[in-house]
């Protein structure tokens, strides 16, 4: 039994050796092709670098020239717009001032007419007042005259009545006749007195009315005088406004004249700027043509190199396929090499348990760990050291993407490794213990592809 194991081990070692020789040959051919590709690409990279330098220089020159064009165009447009706006503003101001002046003149004319009408009405009122005063004075004179008559009549009546009383005391026929004469005189005087009193009453009424009329005329004259004074003040202000507006109008016309002179000067400056802009545009066109020629030359060179690149790529693809087959064959043989796996287990698992006490490694993690190459195992262990001893610092390199393994489950992190950075270590930290679950080595191919490993993590709700 022991001899059989020895023979089988020797046979497996022999087969493994041949496989490694074949894999080495394939890898050497691949390296040679890769070297050729790299040399070819380096040559083309030098051409590309020079093209990019020239292109950047031309683009910079084009941008600089185009910026000059844009600045000149902007200055010309802003000058035109500014002049247009200022011209419109000045014209609008002149129109507004002219309209205001016309309105002031119109108001002034209307107010002047009303003022003349008011003055004429005041003159009529003054004349009417004079007539009323004359009539009042006449009535007062008549009233005073009647008052004198009444006083005289009253005195005569008193005197006659006194004489009658004296005659009554005599009681003679002569006296009786004299009394009758006196009584007739008294009657006539009383009748005349009553008539005079009635006339005086009427005259007094007319006098009061005329005095009221005079007072009303005085009040109306005062009101009219105040109105005329107010209108005169309004007229004065309107004349002042007209004078000021005429001054503003003259100032605006002067500003417009000066602005037109400024426009003429600006036109000369804009013509110079337009000439500079034409030169700048011609420079842009020239540089653009130079850039187009450089691009065309570069793409012609690229097209000429395409066949050679395709040939090298086809050769490299074939040799990479051969290498993939060789690796698969080697991995298949390694898979059945239980003794090799047992050796790796004896080497790594006790040491990991002793060295990395803040970490936990699942059996599936070790299965993946033994399937990767020795150099990959070294890189993975470097990651384990960092996460075990320097977790916070190491987490700065963790990919922002996480694996969601199920509702309510904490996310699983991905830590990259390998020269191509396609390798992934899947782990999670819980209660200060870092648990390592799986390793993936490629994106889409092989048993350790990212898709297969992530599907396994989700299926097992890690």
- 320-363 per-position pLDDT tens digit: 556 555 555 555 555 546 788 898 999 999 999 999 999 999 99
3-state helix vs strand vs coil in the chain, percent to 5: 85, 5, 10
Quick check: is 110 in a domain?
no
Tell whether pTM > 0.75. Answer: no
State residue 10's pLDDT score.
52
pLDDT band, residue 174 (cuts 50/70/90):
confident
Share of the chain above pLDDT 70, in %: 83
User: Mean of the per-residue pLDDT values for the chain?
Assistant: 81
pLDDT band, residue 447 (cuts 50/70/90):
confident
Of 16-30, 155-169, 287-301, 338-352, the least confident: 16-30
CATH of the domain at 416: 3.30.2310.20
In the chain, the number of structural domains is: 1
**Higher pLDDT among residues 206 and 300, named by residue:** 206
Mean pLDDT of 234-244: 87
DSSP H or E segment with residue 72: helix 2-170
pLDDT band, residue 35 (cuts 50/70/90):
low
Long-range contacts of 376-384, Cβ-Cβ distance < 8 Å, separation of 24 or more: 376/417, 376/418, 376/423, 376/441, 379/417, 379/418, 379/423, 380/417, 380/423, 380/425, 380/439, 382/417, 383/415, 383/417, 383/425, 384/352, 384/356, 384/359, 384/436
pLDDT band, residue 62 (cuts 50/70/90):
confident
State residue 325's pLDDT score.
52
Quick check: is 363 in a domain?
yes
Of 37-41, 105-109, 202-206, 270-274, the least confident: 37-41
Mean pLDDT of 366-388: 93
Q: Which domain holds residue 386?
A: 338-462
Quick check: is 103 in a domain?
no
Quick check: is 292 in a domain?
no
> Cα–chain-centroid distance for residue 118?
60
436 DSSP β-pair partners:
361, 427
Quick check: is 383 in a domain?
yes
Residue listed under structure tokens 């007419």: 113
pLDDT tens-place string over residues 397-441: 787 789 988 888 899 999 999 877 889 999 999 999 999 999 999
Quick check: is 85 in a domain?
no
pLDDT band, residue 8 (cuts 50/70/90):
very low
State residue 12's pLDDT score.
42
Q: Any residues with CB less than 8 A from the CB of 391 and at least 6 apart, and which?
A: 429, 434
CA separation for the pair 462, 453 (Å, rounded): 11
**Does the pLDDT of residue 134 top 80, yes or no?**
yes
CA–CA distance from 329 to each of 11, 31, 73 (Å)?
16, 19, 71
Quick check: is 96 in a domain?
no
Looking only at the bridges linking them, the beta strands covering 433-440 and 359-361 are parallel
CA separation for the pair 44, 266 (Å, rounded): 54
CB-based contact 440:421 (threshold 8 Å): no
State residue 346's pLDDT score.
93
DSSP H or E segment with residue 428: strand 423-430
Share of the chain above pLDDT 90, in %: 21
Residue listed under structure tokens 């083309």: 44
CA separation for the pair 110, 227 (Å, rounded): 15
pLDDT band, residue 117 (cuts 50/70/90):
confident
State residue 289's pLDDT score.
84
Q: What is the DSSP letter of 405?
A: -
Of 49-53, 207-211, 301-305, the least confident: 301-305
pLDDT band, residue 43 (cuts 50/70/90):
low
- In this structure, the dihedral spanned by the alpha carbons of residues 321, 322, 328 and 334, taken in order and rounded to 10 degrees, is -150
**Does the pLDDT of residue 287 top 60, yes or no?**
yes
Closest Cα to residue 460, out of 433, 438, 435, 432? 438
Quick check: is 350 in a domain?
yes
């Amino acid at each position: 039994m022991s001899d059989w194991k020895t023979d089988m081990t020797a046979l497996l070692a022999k087969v493994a050796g041949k496989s490694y020789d074949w894999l080495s040959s394939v890898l050497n051919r691949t390296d040679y092709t890769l070297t050729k590709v790299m040399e070819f690409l380096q040559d083309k990279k030098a051409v590309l670098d020079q093209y990019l330098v020239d292109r950047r220089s031309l683009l910079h020159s084009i941008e600089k020239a185009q910026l000059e064009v844009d600045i000149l165009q902007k200055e010309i447009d802003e000058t035109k717009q500014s002049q247009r706006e200022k011209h419109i503003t000045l014209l609008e101001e002149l129109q507004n001032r002219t309209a205001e002046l016309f309105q002031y003149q119109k108001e002034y004319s209307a107010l002047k007419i009303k003022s003349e009408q008011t003055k004429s009405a005041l003159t009529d009122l003054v004349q009417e007042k004079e007539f009323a005063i004359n009539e009042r004075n006449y009535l007062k004179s008549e009233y005073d005259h009647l008052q004198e008559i009444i006083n005289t009549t009253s005195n005569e009546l008193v005197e006659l009545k006194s004489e009658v009383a004296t005659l009554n005391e005599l009681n003679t026929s002569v006296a009786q006749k004299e009394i009758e004469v006196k009584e007739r005189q008294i009657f006539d005087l009383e009748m005349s007195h009553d008539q005079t009193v009635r006339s005086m009453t009427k005259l007094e009424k007319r006098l009061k009315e005329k005095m009221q009329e005079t007072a009303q005329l005085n009040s109306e004259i005062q009101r009219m005088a105040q109105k005329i004074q107010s209108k005169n003040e309004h007229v004065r202000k309107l004349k002042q406004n007209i004078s000021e507006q005429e001054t503003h109008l003259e100032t605006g016309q002067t500003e417009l004249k000066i602005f037109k002179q400024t426009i003429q000067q600006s036109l000369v400056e804009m013509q110079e700027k337009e000439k500079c802009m034409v030169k700048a545009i011609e420079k842009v066109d020239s540089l653009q043509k130079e850039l187009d020629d450089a691009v065309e030359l570069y793409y012609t060179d690229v097209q000429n190199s395409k066949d050679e690149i395709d040939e090298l790529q086809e050769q490299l693809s074939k040799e990479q396929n051969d290498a993939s087959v060789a690796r698969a064959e080697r991995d298949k043989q390694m898979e059945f090499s239980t003794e090799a796996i047992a050796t790796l287990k004896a080497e790594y698992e006790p040491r990991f348990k002793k060295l990395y006490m803040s970490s936990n490694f699942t059996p599936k993690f070790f299965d993946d760990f033994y399937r990767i190459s020795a150099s990959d195992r070294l890189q993975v262990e470097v990651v384990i050291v960092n996460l075990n001893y320097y977790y916070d610092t190491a987490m700065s390199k963790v990919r922002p993407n996480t694996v969601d393994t199920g509702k309510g489950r904490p996310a699983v992190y991905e830590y990259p490794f390998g020269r191509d950075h396609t390798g992934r270590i899947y782990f999670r930290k819980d209660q200060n213990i870092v648990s390592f679950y799986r390793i993936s080595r490629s994106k889409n191919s092989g048993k350790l592809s990212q898709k297969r490993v992530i599907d396994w993590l989700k299926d097992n709700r890690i």
